Amino acid sequence: MLRQQIEQRLQEAVLRRFPDADPASILVRPCPDERFGDYQTNALIGLAKQRRLNPRQLATEIAADLGLDDLTEPPEVAGPGFVNFRLRPQALVALLARAARGEHLFCQPDAPPRTVVIDFSSPNVAKPMHVGHIRSTILGDCLARILRHLGHRVITDNHLGDWGTQFGMLLVGWKTELDSDALARDAIAELERIYRVINARCSEDSPDHDPAVLERARAELVKLQQGDPENVAIWRRMIELSREQFDAIYRRLDVRFDHTLGESFYNDRLPGVVASLLEKGIIRESEGALVAFFDDVPALKAHPAIVRKRDGAFNYTTTDLATLEYRWETWRPDEIIYVTDGRQQLHFQQVFEIFRRWHPEVPTRLTHVWFGSILGENGQPLKTRSGQNVKLADLLDEAEERALRVVREKNPDLPAADQREIARVIGIGAVKYADLLPNRQSDYVFSWDKMLALNGNTAPYLLYAATRIRSIFRKLEEAGERFDPVAAADRATLTEPTELALARMLERFDFVVHAVAAEYRPNYLCNYLYELAGAFTAFYEACPVLRSEEPVRSSRLLLCHLVFKVLETGLGLLGIGIPERM
């Protein structure tokens, strides 16, 4: 891309002057104010200060040595040593032509490719997926799509919660309270019901408390852990029924996993993990438990981590350490990314620190990509009116139904099946976009009205822009014309301000996609697509397309074609499809 070419020539010019300079620190970024140009660097200011040189003078000398005549207007030095670059129209025309010929779509893959494992979604067996799962699921899927787009080998793993003390209660409930007809109608709802019944009997604070039930639950759990055939068969059936309902939601969201390795997959490794940590002196006995202390880590000094409880039971820390070791042994990843809510920050800080002490030879980067909460319009965590967690399936149903009402109002003559398909794409897309648009570390307010609005920074607005472009080419086909982007590339021109602005936005796609991958922030891509759609709207209103004379007509059709391809690709990276019409 043009920015990368500018950056490369800047680095070469700096190295000619200072061979010991670090090229990685010589960066070119979008200009914060487009009045000053398209791109800018402030790297020469720091470089000059390190060498006790005049920053502005150094910037002037380097700028004169860049050899950018084929890409930019003469670079301009501003302030204490900023260098601003404005792209030449002919450089943009050449870039559009290469995109039209299929050489790129304004984005280059990373080199060399890396192997990245992404752990996301991770619902619990025998419980319905609720609104709290949506952020991990959608954000993790988006990051996987982005990294694959950049050429990396991505391995996605849905780490199901399929083990633990709750299964003792579920086993008691299955054997004593199960309604087979209810299980056939809605397995997760029935499993949730029997768990609530037995949990109430096990809880000392409940009026239904029955010590005998608690003892039986403990006994059933021990039998499961010891491999009792009946309990193992029931447990596996619970997992099977849960996965059927999870997979139905994943299909609706168009989310796929390479692996679904639950907590139980690592059970056999847990004793060896603890033995190894003890042998290396990473954990020690404290009040009957085995604990990792972090006296030399200020942020963790007050937060030791229990690796084995005083009763000999393992916990999430033990399982996550075993999981990390397995992932390293199996896939040799360059990075492992965990996508969870912000409440788990301390847990992953502890796990990562223990693992680095345990396996200092492993170079894998460990990353916790955390996010905030979804709030109702009252500013509190989003709940149903009865105070329950909003089930994810119910939320998706409502999104589609609300979108369907809008589609019927706007397109009453469309066949009902077409209306429903459009509503499905818009409704699911609106939910995803509303979740990815905010800074992931911020809480956000869930608002149906804002989410489904046709104006503003929403999925429907972007989808409307994309379908408007589709309608241009539909009219072309109806007139018996065929658009050839390769032929149009030979006639491309950029003269009008809105044409140039649109081409500049297309050129910036590469920078945005790489920024999302580097910082795990899809909101950068959401905002870019919104700006691109806005630039297209300004172009469409100022520049007639089908009514223009050649060669301007072909050139503008090419712009429309490329904008659609970038919108389609960008929305696809967010996991959002585009309907045929709206």
What is the full per-residue pLDDT of the chain (582 aa) written as tens digits? 899 999 999 999 999 999 999 999 999 999 988 889 999 999 999 999 999 999 999 999 999 999 999 999 999 999 999 999 999 999 999 999 999 999 999 999 999 999 999 999 999 999 999 888 999 999 999 999 999 999 999 999 999 999 988 999 999 999 999 999 999 999 999 999 999 999 999 988 888 888 999 999 999 998 998 899 999 999 999 999 999 999 999 999 999 999 999 999 999 999 999 999 999 999 999 999 999 999 999 999 999 999 999 988 899 999 999 999 999 999 999 999 999 999 999 999 999 999 999 999 999 999 999 999 999 888 888 877 666 788 999 999 999 999 999 999 988 999 999 999 999 999 999 999 999 999 999 999 988 888 888 889 999 999 999 999 999 999 999 999 999 999 999 989 999 999 999 999 999 999 999 999 999 999 999 999 999 999 999 999 999 999 999 999 999 999 999 999 999 999 999 999 999 888
> Are residues 419 and 409 in contact, defined by beta-carbon separation less than 8 angstroms?
no
Q: What is the dihedral of CA 292, 293, 297, 301, to 10 degrees?
A: 130
Q: What is the dihedral of CA 238, 244, 250, 256, to 10 degrees?
A: 90
* Residue 279 CB-density burial (10 A; 0-12 exposed, 13-18 middle, 19+ buried): exposed
Would you state the pLDDT for residue 88? 97
Fold (CATH) for 459-573: Isoleucyl-tRNA Synthetase; Domain 1 (1.10.730)
Inter-axis angle of helices 316-331 and 270-279, to 10 degrees? 90
**Those residues with Cβ within 8 angstroms of residue 277's Cβ, 6 or more apart along the chain or in another chain:** 283, 290, 292, 307, 321, 354, 358
**Residue 290 β-bridge partners:** 285, 308
Would you state the pLDDT for residue 270? 95
Would you state the pLDDT for residue 336? 98
Measured CA to CA, the distance from residue 317 to residue 323 in angstroms comes to: 10
Would you state the pLDDT for residue 382? 83
Would you state the pLDDT for residue 386? 67
Q: What percent of the chain has pLDDT over 70?
A: 99
Would you state the pLDDT for residue 455? 86
**Those residues with Cβ within 8 angstroms of residue 435's Cβ, 6 or more apart along the chain or in another chain:** 134, 135, 138, 139, 374, 444
439-489 confidence digits (pLDDT tens): 999 999 988 888 888 889 999 999 999 999 999 999 999 999 999 999 999
DSSP β-ladder status, 82-85 and 39-41: antiparallel
> Are residues 159 and 263 in contact, defined by beta-carbon separation less than 8 angstroms?
yes
Mean pLDDT score of the chain, rounded to an integer?
Answer: 94
Fold (CATH) for 2-87: Gyrase A; domain 2 (3.30.1360)
83-102 confidence digits (pLDDT tens): 999 999 999 999 999 999 99
Fold (CATH) for 115-159+258-372: Rossmann fold (3.40.50)
| Same topology between domain 2-87 and domain 115-159+258-372 | no
Measured CA to CA, the distance from residue 368 to residue 371 in angstroms comes to: 10
Q: The pTM is what? A: 0.93
Tell me the domain boundaries of the chain. Answer: 2-87, 115-159+258-372, 166-253, 392-451, 459-573
Would you state the pLDDT for residue 204? 84
Would you state the pLDDT for residue 208? 84
Spatial strand order in the sheet of 365-371: 153-157, 115-119, 335-341, 365-371
